[in-house]
Structure 1
Amino acid sequence: MQVDLNFLLKKHYASFFPVVKINKEKDGIHTFDFTINNQQISPALIADTNAFSAYITQQLTANNATYGIGGYNENRVLYKRSTLFDGAQNRSIHLGVDIWGPVGTKVYAPLGGMVHSFAFNDQFGDYGATIILQHQLDTVCFYTLYGHLSLASLHDMRKGKFITRGEAFCSFGNPIENGNWPPHLHFQVIEDIGNYEGDYPGVCSEPDRAFYLKNCPDANQLINFDGGVFY
């Protein structure tokens, strides 16, 4: 009998180490909306990385927040900034959770695992520096993807390297090394990674939504701020 990954994530959530160390009371967290409902998001804004970065900073400052968060299953307008997401069916459904914050912010392993793969996905709008970890919970194998990292995060990586729970193993990159995005982490859970190496779709089309959401459970279930899941 196959065990449901969502069930396991909920079962073990209290044991997960914070992916980013955030004190919700001290640091403050702002939830971003990148759907068509946010009228501040214009094509000109998202096409200009500097302007987009300034917008993120302004929103965080205005909301007394050090970090921003959001995005799972969000139908975003952001991906019109890059032809990477074009196709017969344009991709706009976000499959991970984004944590927006300062360049160099440390990222921690929520649970122990091995390095499955890593890569520098250097197209405009892509992940930039990327690491994928392989984990096991109650004999069930799954993966976590960390995108938009610093290139320094890849320096000591090798396949099969063990990463311990709570280990700071990577950090937020700047736009030059993170795929030309404002600094943030794309964090995603993947059940079946197939043949992908150092990459996996973080955005899907509307027709593929049901398939990818099933294969990529809500990563909020592993983001443990102050000993509790953020929703």
Structure 2
Amino acid sequence: MTIATVDSASARFQSYIDRHANGQEPMEDAPRLRQWIIDHQADFAAIMDCDLKSCPKIVYDFSRNGDVVIGGTSDPARQTEIMWRQMADANAPVGIGRYREDRICYQSEQFKNDGEARSQHLGIDLFAPAGTPVYVPLDGVVHSFNDNNLHLDYGPTIILEHNPEPGVTFYTLYGHLSRESLDGLYVGQPVEKDHLLCTFGDFPINGDWIPHLHFQIIFDMLGKKGDYFGAAKPSEWDIWESICPNANLILQMPENVTANRSGQ
């Protein structure tokens, strides 16, 4: 990013803080964009082969350590084995990690800034085996992509830009992919609704996590490319919720896949 881009993004984010302090929606365009997505939910294609609107699922709670632990010093191979066994017993093709969840695995120094951890989840996680295909939910173009190959980062990541009608622009992020998912991509490449986009990655390529897709809606890229904030500081949640609304607006799962206001 150029200095001008960084300054512009910082100024916009400060404007969101100021609007929130004045009791306004932090991002002025957010209500209109959210409503557009709601009004066009029937137009979105499924992003997985299993029907997320009806298939059995296990909705996990990662706000505290339980039978399955993600991130931190956990062993992804062992945790994957436990999760797959639980999902098989429940006849569930997918496990779910919740939006707005304040996660214990994000409390390390890696996720802290000014002493506060970016611990509250901005996307929804879909857990399934490595190689699981992911499809484009709505026509768009490749905004950016990158292999964010630090431990507990996204690994290979793709961000799509959607411009379904004049005045409506938003982005979808796909993280923890296979490295092959980035082959042949280029910025501006058209992608068609319901076409194969990528596949789930395996550890350690995917950032060393249990195989899953981090799916996120973004209304303002804040100058970033190929990477984005996947979790927010709890003290800034209301601002980030405006920028990155609940991904279930697109996925449309009937289960409660959103943590409560406290993140638990």
| TM-score when normalising by structure 2 | 0.79
Q: 1:46–1:52: 8 Å Cα contact kept in structure 2?
A: no
1:72 corresponds to which of 57, 81, 99: 99
Contact 1:112 1:165 survives alignment (8 Å): yes
Kept in 1: contact 2:100–2:120 (CA 8 A): yes
| Cα distance in 2 for residues equivalent to 1:144 and 1:25 | 19
Instruction: Quote the residue 1:86 is aligned against.
Output: 112
SS at match of 2:42: helix
Check conservation: 1:223, 1:230, Cα contact below 8 A: no
Give the superposition deviation at 1:42: 6.1
1:85 corresponds to which letter in structure 2? Answer: F
> How far, CA to CA, are the matches of 1:172 and 1:180 in structure 2?
12
Give the match for residue 153 of structure 1: 181
Cross-structure match for 1:52: 79
Mapped to 1, the partners of 2:181 and 2:52 lie a distance apart of 26
Residue pair 2:71, 2:105 contacting (<8 A) in 1 also: no
Of 33, 42, 46, which residue of structure 2 is paired with 1:14?
A: 42
CA distance in 1, matches of 2:32, 2:55: 34
Q: Distance in 1 between matches of 2:254 and 2:180?
A: 28
Secondary structure of 1:144's counterpart equals strand
Structure 1 residue identity aligned to 2:140: G
Cα distance, 1:24 vs. partner?
5.8
Kindly provide the amino acid, as one letter, of the partner of residue 128 in structure 1. Answer: G
TM superposition shift of 1:79: 2.2
**Are the aligned partners of 1:103 and 1:183 in contact in 2 as well (CA < 8 Å)?**
yes
Q: Distance in 1 between matches of 2:240 and 2:36?
A: 18
Judging by fraction of residues, say which structure has more helix.
2
Number of residue pairs aligned between Structure 1 and Structure 2:
225
Query: Which of 126, 131, 137 is the aligned partner of 1:104?
Result: 131
User: In the TM superposition, what whole-angstrom CA distance separates every residue of 1:139-183 from its partner, at most 9, and x where no partner exists?
Assistant: 211100000000000001100000000011101000121100010
Structure 2 Cα separation of the partners of residues 179 and 44 of structure 1: 9
**Distance in 2 separating the partners of 1:104 and 1:16:** 22
Q: Are 1:8 and 1:137, in contact at CA under 8 Å, matched by a contact in 2?
A: no
State which of 178, 198, 207 in structure 1 corresponds to 2:226: 198
Equivalents in 1 of 2:177, 2:159: separation in Å?
Answer: 12
Residue among 122, 131, 149 paired with 1:122: 149
Residues 72, 105 of structure 2: 8 Å contact kept = no
Structure 1 residue 55 displacement after superposition: 2.7
Larger gyration radius, structure 1 or structure 2: 2
Paired with 1:195 and 1:23, the residues of 2 have a C-alpha distance of 34
Shift of 1:33: 1.3
Contact 2:109 2:117 survives alignment (8 Å): no
Counterpart in the other structure of 1:31: 59
Superposed displacement of residue 25, structure 1: 9.4
Which residue number in structure 1 is paired with residue 170 of structure 2?
142
Instruction: Measure the CA separation in 2 of the matches of 1:207 and 1:13.
Output: 31
Contact (CA 8 Å) 1:90, 1:205: kept in 2 or not?
A: yes
Q: Distance in 2 between matches of 1:6 and 1:200?
A: 19
CA distance in 2, matches of 1:92, 1:169: 28
Instruction: Name the structure where strand makes up a greater proportion of residues.
Output: 1
